[in-house]
Amino acid sequence: MQRFDWNDKYSVGVKSIDEQHKVWIERLNSLSSAIESNQEARLISRTLDFMMDYVEFHFAAEESLMAAKNYPDLARHKGEHQQFRNTLMDLFMLEAEKEDSIGKIADSINNFQISWLKNHIQQTDRQFAEFLNETSAALAGTMPCRS
């Protein structure tokens, strides 16, 4: 079973975003553990819901921050979040059609999520974080100095 171990190379350089990614990863790893220990379907599906709740919370938080900061690449970034939801739903339907067990469904969702998240954090989220850091540095530069 794949797990996602956080390390500093996944930091985007904005604390609040890093903290949310860490919680997502924690919930993702709880799902891995639930699958690995052959938990009952009821429990796996609860762990899956628990994780998805956080994914939605995190996407909404990032998207409202992008909107508040007039981030020029908001539409594309939002599109990637939507693509993630679509792929997840497709995977779910595909596995459900095969009448696979909830453990098998959660397993493929888990694998997809780990590779998507590593990629999205290191590219798309990092671009937004760089924009945030640049704009706040620019704003700080225009602040009058008080002595």
What residues make contact with Fe ion under the rule CB under 5 A?
A: 62, 125
Helices (H), the chain: 15-36, 41-68, 74-97, 102-120, 126-142
Nearer to Fe ion, 16 or 38 (CB): 16
Q: Which amino acid is at 86?
A: N
What is the maximum span of the chain, computed from C-alpha positions, in angstroms?
70
CB of 86 to Fe ion, least distance (A): 15
CB of 58 to Fe ion, least distance (A): 6
CB of 87 to Fe ion, least distance (A): 14
Nearest CA among 123, 109, 2 for reference residue 45: 109
Nearer to Fe ion, 95 or 125 (CB): 125
**Using CB atoms, what's the residue nearest to Fe ion?**
125
Nearer to Fe ion, 32 or 59 (CB): 59
Nearest CA among 34, 25, 23, 26 for reference residue 1: 34
Nearer to Fe ion, 40 or 134 (CB): 134
